[in-house]
Structure formats: structure tokens, C-alpha cells
Amino acid sequence: MITKQLKFVLVVFSLVALVGCAPQPVVQAPAVAPTTTSVPPPTKEPTSVPPTNTPIVTPTTQIGPETQVDKIEDIVGTWEMRLLDNSGTANFEIRADGTYTIVGVSGDATGATLGDATYRFEDGQLILETKSNCILDLQGNMAPCVGIYNAYIAKQGDKPAYLKLSVVDDPDFGRKKTLNNKKLPFVQR
């Protein structure tokens, strides 16, 4: 009986295998008529460009040549100067009343008045005279420091760009070293 059952299982198995391996009829999907849909052409989307730190370059007027000045009104204003040994900067304020002050704006001298004196033009030269005494005369007396300079201005367009003082004679070593042939940028009038 086992053999009959075994034969039966083998026959059923063979039939299942034959049916599974037999080629199946190909069924095609029904034909669908193509449709046309109007698709607009792709538009160029504006892209977001991240900001850059590139400075905006604007045309500037070149700094003109230096011209020698001999009038108070040509040098009135505030000029920036570097202190000795690059220890900071100061504002050199030249006023129309014939006085000037030097006040520290950065470094060790911030806020300190470094100079307070008078000036005038004489024979085309700028005379700086301190109010305090700074040198000994031949008799051993203290005398005021009088510095003599040629003054030059360079302009950018119609505005001052810098002031340059060229020493002719000045017994005040610190003032002479700080001012002589240095370009003092214009700050304000």
C-alpha cells in the first residue's frame, strides 16, 4: 500500500511540476490611447546667492600733489598723528584762533593732552611755540620751544587728505620726531 501511495504522490507532484513549468499564455494589457498634456517649459527659478563680504568698490578721486601752504585757514582742522614708538595715536587739532592741542586717542596716552600751544605763519613757514618752557638758553634759563616747519597739504578732490610738516628747526626732539615728514591724515574740520 505504501507503494501505491508513493506512486500517487509522485504522479501528483509531477503534474504540479509540469503545470508550473508549462508556458503560460501572454496576456497583454488593453491598448490605451496616448494623451498629450501641455507642459509649460521649465522656468528658471531665481537662485538665492549668499551674501559675500566683498567690499563695494566705488570710484574715488586720487590724492593730488602736495602744495606748500602759508595761511591759517589751509591747515585748520583735526589731523591724526602717530605717537613716538607707535605707542598710539593722537588728534592734532589746529584751531583758527592760532592755538593747537594734541590729545591722545589710542594707546597709553588715550584721553591725555600731550600738547597745548600756539602757532602762526611767518615768512611762509609754520611756527609752533609751546606755552611751557622746554630748553635751556645760554644763560641756563628755560626758554619756550619754538619749532619752524614748512607745511604741505594734499587734497582728494576739494577736501584735505593729509597735512605734512617738514622741520626747518625745532629743539623739541619729541615733537620733531613725531611730526617731521609724516603724513597726518585729515580727520575733520
Share of the chain above pLDDT 70, in %: 62
DSSP string, 26-48: P-PPPP--------PPPP-PPPP
Does residue 157 carry a pLDDT above 50? yes
Does residue 170 carry a pLDDT above 60? yes
Between CA 97 and CA 76 the distance in angstroms is 9
Whose CA is closest to 127, among 187, 171, 159, 83? 171
DSSP string, 61-121: PPB---EEE-SHHHH-EEEEEEPGGG--EEEEEE-TTSEEEEEE-SGGGTT-EEEEEEEEE
- More confident: 7 or 84: 84
* 3-class SS of residue 49: coil
Does residue 72 carry a pLDDT above 50? yes
pLDDT recorded at residue 9: 44
Mean pLDDT value of segment 83-89:
86
Mean pLDDT value of segment 141-151:
85
pLDDT recorded at residue 175: 85
Mean pLDDT value of segment 79-97:
92
Assign 124 a pLDDT band (cuts: 50, 70, 90): very high
Full set of structural domains in the chain with CATH: 67-188 (2.40.128)
Share of the chain above pLDDT 90, in %: 43
φ/ψ of 153, rounded to 5, equals -125, 140
Instruction: Say how many C-beta atoms besides its own lie within 10 A of residue 4's C-beta.
Output: 8
φ/ψ of 55, rounded to 5, equals -65, 145
Does residue 39 carry a pLDDT above 80? no
Are the C-beta atoms of residues 177 and 151 closer than 8 Å to each other?
no
The pTM for the full model equals 0.63
